[in-house]
Amino acid sequence: MGPLAVVQAVAGGLLLFFLPGFTIAKALFPERRVRGPQAVGWALELVAIAFVLSVVLTVVVGYLLLVGAPGGFSATWGNPLLETGLAAIALVAFVAGWLQGAYAREPRRPARPVAQEEGPWELDERLDRLQRERRRLERELRRAGTGEAAATGLRERIAGIVDEERTLRRRREAEYDL
């Protein structure tokens, strides 16, 4: 096998198994970067997504060419319809990713939207913390026994926590009613 055949094999392998999926993944997730604490995880995800998307695109484009081309087609370098179609998809996805800043050093948009308010997950966590605090104070109140001054302060704190829990539950239920 000569050097030209090796170059053709590598280019064909990249077109069939990596490039279209990679450029689509970068276009879909332009804010993700392969660096920082999650670099290895995102790199593995990117390679897996690139491989799966590329294989799926190869099958779909090959099928469309088989059905659409009169007399069928053969996926060879002498008849590069499949490679041309995959290269066109990769080029369009690359341009889309480039316009979104996927290949820039720093992302144009933040990785996560900045929350103005706490979401349902944070609301539930806050309610759990309040319940744990209320239970701790109730146990402390039972242990305090007859000390009226300490008991009054604990009862006031418990009442404040109960009021905050009610407010948070109403807000959570209002979000579910939307």
Q: Which residues 6+ apart lie within 8 Å of 12 measured at CB?
A: 77, 83
Q: Are residues 82 and 124 in the same domain?
A: no
Q: Is residue 113 part of a domain?
A: no
Q: Are residues 67 and 36 in the same domain?
A: yes
Tokens of 85: 């179609």
pLDDT of residue 110: 55
Q: Per-residue pLDDT tens for 6-21?
A: 888 888 889 889 999 9
pLDDT of residue 23: 94
Model pTM score:
0.57
Low-confidence ranges of the chain (pLDDT < 70): 72, 74-79, 107-118, 145-147, 177-178
Q: Is residue 85 part of a domain?
A: yes
Strand, helix or coil at 106?
Answer: coil
Q: Are residues 16 and 54 in the same domain?
A: yes
pLDDT of residue 146: 61
Q: Is residue 138 part of a domain?
A: yes
Q: Is residue 151 part of a domain?
A: yes
Return the residue matching tokens 């897996």.
Answer: 48
| 117/43 Cα distance (integer angstroms) | 31
Number of domains composing the chain:
2
| 129/132 Cα distance (integer angstroms) | 5
Q: Are residues 81 and 139 in the same domain?
A: no
Among 68, 100, 132, where does a domain finish?
Answer: 100
Q: Are residues 95 and 132 in the same domain?
A: no
Q: Which residues 6+ apart lie within 8 Å of 160 measured at CB?
A: none
Q: Is residue 108 part of a domain?
A: no
Instruction: Give me the amino acid identity at 52.
Output: V
Measure the CA dihedral 77/71/16/60, to 10°: 160
Q: Are residues 18 and 64 in the same domain?
A: yes
Q: Are residues 42 and 82 in the same domain?
A: yes
Q: How many other C-beta atoms can be found within 10 angstroms of the C-beta atom of residue 42? A: 15
Q: Per-residue pLDDT tens for 19-54?
A: 999 999 999 988 887 777 778 888 899 999 999 999
Q: Are residues 90 and 159 in the same domain?
A: no
pLDDT of residue 178: 58
Q: Are residues 13 and 83 in the same domain?
A: yes
User: 25 is in which domain, residue-wise?
Assistant: 3-100
Q: Are residues 11 and 46 in the same domain?
A: yes
pLDDT of residue 49: 94
Q: Is residue 105 part of a domain?
A: no
pLDDT of residue 105: 76
pLDDT of residue 147: 67
